[in-house]
Structures are given as structure tokens and as C-alpha cells.
């Protein structure tokens, strides 16, 4: 099988966690970069990456690299790729363009130019013209220009990989599934001890945690990946890869999932998300969700559980979440033997928890500079 260079993108700050996943999956020649991790492999590896990488946003396959300090160079570079492997004349297309420190830096113009080049090439065959579709294009192409060097890639994922397919309720500001997975992976959780979220919202962290414990690939519940609508897609090979991942799900015999939250609606949504999950709903037997203020958080002593949470940022006007962080931190400090992995809205809020020996990682969550705090309570 032909080998390619891939680039798995992720939220800034998550690169080391994604790199850990890529190494654990056994992909070759992986290298951490800003905004993602590069690796090499076949299309089979791309299927596997899309199915299994929990913290990635998308997986791009590199098609071509060339100098493009002028429009003519860009046009020649675009013409040098055989787009008929991806795009049918009656298919749809979308281009994402990024440019940094380059002569050509008007990204809208660049996207248009790349689109024209691809459409012209595909149309030349029989006169039918591919159309543009922002939301659900058959083929998404990425142009990345850095210091006049262009990289053209095709997006093997399509819509962002955080769209797993299990979510039916949005709640208020749900945590993206790939960031939730990062919070759990960073925690060092043993996949057996109780997993507890006292600000559980729609249950994202507990569900991602349960999928990790059940070895359920996050892509199993997705409806569609980018490569599925490419002209040269191999449906039989892909179906076999999907089934292989499906056969690896192993529901743990016993796994306590404990969610609480101040909103009764969120509690119902979290419950429904777990109960409705096609692969891990059996774990509902071990799960409890209840309406409870985090100020009253008092898990069982001796459980030595893992507390994972995405704390409120105070995004509502006039809302002050500082006292909540102080009180919650006080609660946590009494939980000897427990571990925590908490995504907080700022380094200031993280500090208010006053957890000794905490490790902190800066993570960009939808443009907000958050802090991921991990600690063991002595
Ligand atoms: C940032 S959201 C968490 C979102 C969640 N991770 C998800 O994906 O849906 C914070 C959640 O904490 C809840 N909350 C806010 N203040 C609370 C408190 N004092 N006690 C318990 N829950 C609280 C909110 O209702 C909200 O659902």
C-alpha cells in the first residue's frame, strides 16, 4: 500500500497527549509540531487514526509541497495533483486556507484560487463542474502557506473529530469530546477506579472516560468520515477496519461513573447520553447522576476515585466563580487518596483551588486560555 505523510491536528496545548496516543497506536515516524502531530502510514493507518485518536481534531493527508511566492506557482502546484482520485465531476468541494509570513497571504483569495484550479482540472474531463459546499463537502482540501512554502493536503476526517455522533443534547457550553478525552488521558486514570465529575453537565467527560475504559474507539459512533466520499475510496477495506475496531470493545465488569451537577436538565441529559450510547450503554448499570451543588461535593472516603471536571468559567454576565473555586478546592483537599484532573477557565482560577504539587498545562479551548490542573491529594 502507498505510504503518505499525515498531520493530525489538535487544540493548542494538547500536542503531547495526542503524540502519546499516536505513539501508542504504533504509527511510524511521528513528530510533535505546533498544533498537531505528523506521522507516516498507509490509508489503513488513516482509517485507524480517524477511528481511534481521541484527542485529534482532524487528520490531514499531505499531497504536495512546493514554493508559492506568486500566483503562477500556486496554480502550477495545484495543477500538479491528480484531483480525480478524490473529486468526482458531480461532487462537492471546500477549501480551507491558512497563510503565515508569506507574500500570498489573503486566505479567502487563496482558497478561491485553489478551488478554481481543482475545478478546472476536474471539469476538463467531461465538462461537469464540481460545486462548493462549506458544510458537508465530499472533499475538503487544506492549503497551508508558511514563509511562501505551500502544503496541500486532503482532509481524511471531514467534520471535526469531536463530533463523535453520540451527543443528542448540547446543554450549556458542552466540552468538546476530544478535549474531554484529553482531560481523562492526562489524568493518568487507571481505568478501574471510580470516575467522578461534580460539574458533569451533559456527561461528556464521564462518557469519554467510559469509552476509554471499554476500549471503544471514538470514531465507531460517527456517521461519516471525509475519505468515505473520495472517488477512490475502498468501502470493503474500510468496513473491515471498522468491524475490527468494533470487535475490540470490552465492557468493564464494574466501573463506577458518578456525575453530579446543579441543573436538573443537565443531569437528565447526561443520563440519556450514556443510556443511548450504542457501545457503552451497559455501563448505565454502574452509573449514578444526581442534582447536587459542587459546594456539597462529598464522595465516599476510601474510594480513591479520579475526579475529572470542566469547571464553570463564569461566562455569564456578572457571574463570579472565584468563591466556587475556593470552596471546591477546600473540598478536594480533604479527599485524601483521590486524584484530580480539572480543566479551569484561567490560570488565576486554577490557582484559587490551592492544590499542592499540582501540574498545570495551558490549553486553548475555543480561544479561551484554560489551565488543565492535575494533582494527587496527599
Ligand atoms: C463548563 S460546564 C461543564 C460542561 C460539561 N463538561 C459538558 O460537557 O456538558 C459547567 C457545568 O457546571 C454546572 N455548575 C455550575 N455551578 C455549579 C455548582 N455550584 N455546582 C454544581 N454544578 C454547577 C453548570 O450547570 C454546567 O453544566
Claim to verify: residue 97 and residue 194 sit in the same structural domain: no
- pLDDT > 90: what percent of the chain? 92
Domain holding 189: CATH number?
Answer: 3.40.50.150
* 173 pocket-lining for ligand 1 (C-beta < 6 Å): yes
pLDDT per residue over 118-177, tens digit each?
A: 999 998 777 888 899 998 999 999 999 999 999 999 999 999 999 999 999 998 889 999
Distance 212 CA to ligand 1 centre (A): 22
Query: Ligand 1: which residue has its CA nearest to atom 10?
Result: 312
Claim to verify: residue 71 and residue 136 sit in the same structural domain: yes
Q: Stretch 307-319: mean pLDDT, rounded?
A: 86
Residue 349, CA atoms < 13 Å, CB-side half-sphere: 25
Claim to verify: residue 149 and residue 190 sit in the same structural domain: no
User: What pLDDT shows up at residue 162?
Assistant: 97
Q: If residue 145 lies in a helix (H) or strand (E), which one and from where to where?
A: strand 139-146
pLDDT per residue over 81-130, tens digit each?
A: 999 999 999 999 999 999 999 999 999 999 999 999 999 999 877 788 88
> Looking at the domain assignment, is residue 17 inside a domain?
yes
Q: How confident is the model at residue 22 (pLDDT cuts 50, 70, 90)?
A: very high
> Which of 163, 175, 178, 201 has most ligand 1 atoms within 8 Å of its beta carbon, as the pocket-test mutant?
201
Q: How far apart are CA 150 and CA 378, in angstroms?
A: 51
Q: Which atom of ligand 1 is nearest to the CA of 293?
A: 20
What's the angle, vertex CA 310, arms to CA 179 and CA 294, rounded to 5? 160
User: What pLDDT shows up at residue 171?
Assistant: 85
pLDDT averaged over every residue in the chain:
96
> Looking at the domain assignment, is residue 338 inside a domain?
yes
* 205 pocket-lining for ligand 1 (C-beta < 6 Å): yes
Domain holding 151: CATH number?
Answer: 3.30.2130.30
Query: Ligand 1: which residue has its CA nearest to atom 15?
Result: 312
Sheet arrangement for strand 339-344: 287-291, 257-261, 195-197, 306-310, 339-344, 368-376, 359-365
Pairing of strands 257-261, 195-197: parallel
User: What pLDDT shows up at residue 127?
Assistant: 83
> Looking at the domain assignment, is residue 241 inside a domain?
no
Q: Residue 56's domain spans which residues?
A: 4-155
Distance 278 CA to ligand 1 centre (A): 25
Q: How many helices (H) and strands (E) does the chain have?
A: 10, 15
- Could you tell me the three cell numbers for 270? 447526561
Does 63 score more than 90 pLDDT?
yes
> Looking at the domain assignment, is residue 39 inside a domain?
yes
Burial class (CB in 10 A: 0-12, 13-18, 19+), 6: buried
Claim to verify: residue 39 and residue 181 sit in the same structural domain: no
Nearest one of 149, 150, 155, 213 to 181, comparing CA atoms: 213
Q: How far apart are CA 47 and CA 219, in angstroms?
A: 10
Q: How far apart are CA 371 and CA 363, in angstroms?
A: 6
Q: Stretch 51-70: mean pLDDT, rounded?
A: 98
Distance 335 CA to ligand 1 centre (A): 20
> Looking at the domain assignment, is residue 224 inside a domain?
no
Distance 262 CA to ligand 1 centre (A): 7
Claim to verify: residue 140 and residue 183 sit in the same structural domain: no
Task: Kindly report the backbone phi and psi dihedral angles of residue 184, in degrees, each rounded to the nearest multiple of 5, phi listed first.
Answer: -70, -45
Number of domains in the chain: 2
Distance 353 CA to ligand 1 centre (A): 16
Q: Identify which of 115-129, 227-241, 299-313 has the greatest average pLDDT.
A: 227-241
Is the separation of the CB atoms in 59 and 8 below 8 Å?
yes
* 259 pocket-lining for ligand 1 (C-beta < 6 Å): no
Amino acid at each position: 500500500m502507498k505510504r503518505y505523510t499525515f498531520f493530525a491536528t489538535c487544540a493548542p496545548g494538547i500536542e503531547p497527549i495526542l503524540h502519546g496516543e499516536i505513539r501508542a497506536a504504533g504509527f511510524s515516524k511521528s513528530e510533535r509540531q505546533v498544533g498537531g502531530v505528523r506521522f507516516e502510514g498507509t490509508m489503513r493507518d488513516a482509517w485507524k487514526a480517524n477511528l481511534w485518536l481521541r484527542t485529534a481534531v482532524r487528520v490531514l493527508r499531505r499531497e504536495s509541497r512546493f514554493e508559492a511566492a506568486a500566483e503562477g506557482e500556486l496554480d502550477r502546484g495545484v495543477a500538479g495533483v491528480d484531483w480525480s482520485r478524490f473529486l468526482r465531476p458531480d461532487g462537492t468541494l471546500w477549501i480551507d486556507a491558512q497563510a503565515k509570513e508569506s507574500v500570498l497571504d489573503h486566505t479567502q483569495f487563496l482558497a478561491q484560487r485553489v478551488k478554481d484550479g481543482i475545478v478546472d482540472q476536474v471539469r476538463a474531463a467531461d465538462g461537469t463542474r464540481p460545486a462548493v459546499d462549506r458544510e458537508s463537502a465530499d472533499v475538503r482540501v487544506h492549503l497551508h502557506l508558511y514563509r511562501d512554502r505551500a502544503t496541500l493536503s486532503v482532509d481524511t476526517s471531514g467534520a471535526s473529530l469531536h463530533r463523535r455522533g453520540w451527543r443528542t443534547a448540547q446543554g450549556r457550553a458542552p466540552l468538546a469530546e476530544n478535549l474531554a478525552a484529553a482531560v481523562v488521558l492526562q489524568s493518568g486514570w487507571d481505568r478501574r477506579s471510580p470516575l467522578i465529575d461534580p460539574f458533569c453537565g451533559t456527561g461528556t467527560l464521564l462518557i469519554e472516560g467510559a469509552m476509554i475504559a471499554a476500549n471503544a474507539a471514538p470514531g465507531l459512533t460517527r456517521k461519516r468520515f471525509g475519505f468515505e466520499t473520495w472517488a477512490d475510496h475502498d468501502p470493503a477495506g474500510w468496513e473491515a477496519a471498522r468491524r475490527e475496531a468494533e470487535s475490540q470493545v470490552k465492557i468493564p465488569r464494574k466501573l463506577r461513573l458518578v456525575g453530579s451537577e446543579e441543573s436538573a436538565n443537565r443531569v437528565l441529559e447526561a443520563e440519556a447520553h450514556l443510556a443511548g450510547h450504542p457501545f457503552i450503554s451497559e455501563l448505565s448499570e454502574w452509573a449514578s447522576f444526581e442534582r447536587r451543588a459542587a459546594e456539597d461535593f462529598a464522595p465516599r472516603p476510601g474510594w480513591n476515585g479520579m475526579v475529572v471536571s470542566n469547571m464553570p468559567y463564569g461566562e455569564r454576565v456578572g457571574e463570579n466563580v472565584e468563591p466556587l473555586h475556593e470552596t471546591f478546592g477546600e473540598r478536594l483537599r480533604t479527599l485524601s487518596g483521590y486524584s484530580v484532573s480539572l480543566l479551569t477557565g484561567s490560570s488565576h482560577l486554577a490557582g484559587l483551588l490551592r492544590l499542592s504539587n499540582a501540574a498545570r498545562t495551558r490549553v486553548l479551548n475555543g480561544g479561551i486560555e484554560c489551565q488543565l490542573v492535575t494533582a494527587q491529594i496527599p
